[in-house]
Chain A
Amino acid sequence: MTAVLHLDNVTRVHGEGATRVAALRGVSFTARPGELVAVMGPSGSGKSTLLNLAGGLDTPTSGSVLIEGVDLSGLDVAGRARVRRTSVGYVFQDYNLIPALTAAENVALPRELDGDSRKEAREKAMIALERVGIAEVADRFPDEMSGGQQQRVAIARSVVGERRLILADEPTGALDTETGEEVLRVLRDFCDAGAAGVLVTHEARHAGWADRVVFLRDGLVVDEAAASGAYGDPLEQGAL
């Protein structure tokens, strides 16, 4: 299966001379359809840098980033913005909802920016809100929702219009255990339905939801974990 996201030997250097920081030093990374990949590592190891490159928010110093087979370096700013609107969904720790817009309007916004009519965009937004299980808050403003609800709205926004790559940077950061778990379940469901997901997290418990866990240290991938036991046969006694 072709990868939704592929980073090939990517390097990202910030600054020069004394302030030079190599945030990523030759990282290759892949996320396939249906796969949730977690990225773990200490603060400053390059996790957000990797996610920003994957989402076309930043460009590599060397190496290439491909989304659904398209090399982002071959695109101009407008081209990358288009890929971001149509293929990539971003979920941030602090939700990043627009306070003056309702939940449905927040979710519909990327579709409207991409040329959908208001009505079409609203319909797609409602479908996305239903998929994350909070259609009932569609007409509420962000300050009228709990953190968990806001994060689900943010996830709905990140997938509206059938985007195939979901990038989440500490999406459960401010949430309690139970609510954080709900958010992960939603993310996991989207991946099970065919999207590719990349989840940056400090919490091993949350990384446990991923198919693969990539460990970053000082801008390098140092190891990778996959569930032990026979894949697809978790009920077998030995799997516990």
Chain B
Amino acid sequence: MSVRQSLLALLEQGPMYGYQLRAEFEQRTGATWPLNVGQVYTTLSRLERDGMVAVVDHGGVDDRTEADGEAGTQSESGGERGQVSYQITEAGRAEVAEWFSTPVPRTQPARDELAIKLAIAVTLPGVDIGRLIQQQRTATMSALQAHTRTKRAGRPGALVGEIQSATEDLAWSLVLDSLVFDAESEIRWLDHCEARLRRASHQTKTASSIQPEESR
């Protein structure tokens, strides 16, 4: 999953605590895919198990990861007892490089629930599919409007004029654009479904349920 690679990639900037990683992730993606702290630590411990990161605490490098030879002598002077930060290993860097150079697999269809719902609905008598499509379109349109409005308002906590902030703003707005384009494509698909169903119903003169005057 992308959380693993995302956290790993963020660690290329330097060692970080778990809560820091979470903040860095959310600065870029907004509150779109909130990460809970538990998820961050579970992911980090798996990464550690797989030799992708090494644990650094104020005493030095954790025994378990010293074999990687990468963790070095970094120490965390400010770390509280029991608080550790994480440092990427060579193997971790390789995984990040691999991630950025490989396309995200798109064999798994994304909008499962809606496509399945429609596929089931068209085959069943008694489902008002015109209404189903219209209601979904309205809901998706509302979400699209909300994303657009969020984007116009700007990233929460953005600091005008700061370079670091400017690149994070860019990252954040690209994520919003992705939500906007997804919603748009879903609406286009719904329009397409509606047009196809209309044509089919004109041909068979049966499925009157998709006539708009009866869809309310």
Which of A42, A213, A218, A240 is within 8 Å of B147, CB to CB?
A240
Instruction: A215 to B31: give the CA distance in the assembly, Å.
Output: 30
Q: In the complex, which residues of chain A have a beta carbon less than 8 angstroms from the beta carbon of B216?
A: 222
| Interfacial chain A residues near B187, Cβ < 8 Å | 204
Chain A residues whose C-beta falls within 8 Å of the C-beta of B147 in the assembled complex? 208, 240
> Are A217 and B212 also in contact (CB < 8 A) when A222-B134, A239-B150 are?
yes
Q: Is there a chain A Cβ closer than 8 Å to B19's Cβ?
A: no
Please report whether the interface of chain B is mostly helix, strand, loop or mixed according to DSSP: helix
Contact of A225 among B145, B156, B176 (CB under 8 A): B145
Q: Which of A223, A226, A238 has the most CB of B within 10 A?
A: A223
> What chain B residues lie within 8 Å of A235 (beta carbons)?
150, 153, 156
The verdict on B46 contacting chain A, using a C-beta distance below 8 Å, is: no
Evaluate contact between A215 and B30: CB separation under 8 angstroms: no
Given contacts A215-B138, A234-B149, A235-B156, contact A208 B144 (CB under 8 A): yes
Is A203 in contact with B184, judged by CB distance below 8 angstroms? yes
Tell me whether B142 and A227 are in contact (CB under 8 A).
yes
Q: How many B residues touch A, CB cutoff 8 Å?
A: 37
Flag B36-80 by CB within 8 Å of A: 1 or 0 each. Answer: 000000000000000000000000000000000000000000000
**In the complex, chain A residues whose CB is within 8 Å of the CB of B181:** 205
The residue that B134 contacts in the complex, of A207, A215, A227, with Cβ under 8 A, is: A215
Closest to A231 in B: B149
**Chain A 208-238 residues near chain B, CB threshold 8 A:** 208-211, 213, 215, 217-218, 220, 222-229, 234-235, 237-238
Contact yes or no, B138 A225, CB < 8 A:
yes
Q: Quick check: A204 and B141 within 8 Å, CB to CB?
A: yes
CB distance from A46 to the nearest CB of B (A): 12
Bitwise interface map of A from 192 to 209 toward B, beta carbon under 8 Å scored 1, else 0: 000000000001110111
Q: Name the A residues within 8 Å of B176 (CB-CB).
A: 240
One digit per residue, 1 when the CB lies within 8 angstroms of any chain A CB and 0 when it does not, for chain B 143-157 equals: 111111110110010
- B188 close to chain A: CB less than 8 A: yes
Kindly supply a per-residue 1/0 record for chain A positions 39-74, scoring 1 wherever the CB is within 8 Å of any chain B CB and 0 otherwise.
Answer: 000100000000000000000000000000000000
Number of chain A residues whose Cβ lies closer than 8 Å to a Cβ of chain B = 29
Query: A220 vs B195: C-alpha distance in the bound complex, in angstroms?
Result: 16
Q: Is the CB of A204 within 8 A of B138?
A: no
Set of chain B residues within 8 Å of A223, measured between Cβ atoms: 134-135, 137-138
Closest B residue, CB atoms, query A233? B153
Contact B142 A228 (CB under 8 A): yes
CB distance from B137 to the nearest CB of A (A): 7
Q: Is B180 engaged at the interface, CB distance under 8 Å to the other chain?
A: yes
Residues on the A chain within 8 Å of B137, using CB: 215, 223, 225
Is B34 an interface residue when CB atoms closer than 8 A count as contact?
Answer: yes
Q: Tell me the A62-111 residues at the B interface (CB within 8 Å).
A: none
A234 and B146: CB pair below 8 A?
yes
Cβ-neighbour of B184 out of A205, A210, A225, A234 (below 8 A): A205
Task: Give the residues in chain A near B30, CB-CB below 8 Å.
Answer: 240
The reply to whether the CB of B191 lies closer than 8 angstroms to some CB of chain A is yes
> B213 contacts the other chain (Cβ, under 8 Å)?
yes
Residues 176-187 of B, flagged 1 when their CB comes within 8 A of A and 0 if not, give 100111011001
Listed A/B pairs (16) with beta-carbon separation below 8 Å? A42-B191, A205-B180, A205-B184, A208-B183, A211-B145, A215-B137, A222-B134, A222-B216, A225-B137, A225-B139, A225-B142, A227-B145, A227-B148, A238-B31, A240-B31, A240-B179
Chain B residues proximal to chain A, CB less than 8 Å:
30-32, 34, 134-135, 137-150, 152-153, 156, 176, 179-181, 183-184, 187-188, 191, 195, 212-213, 215-216
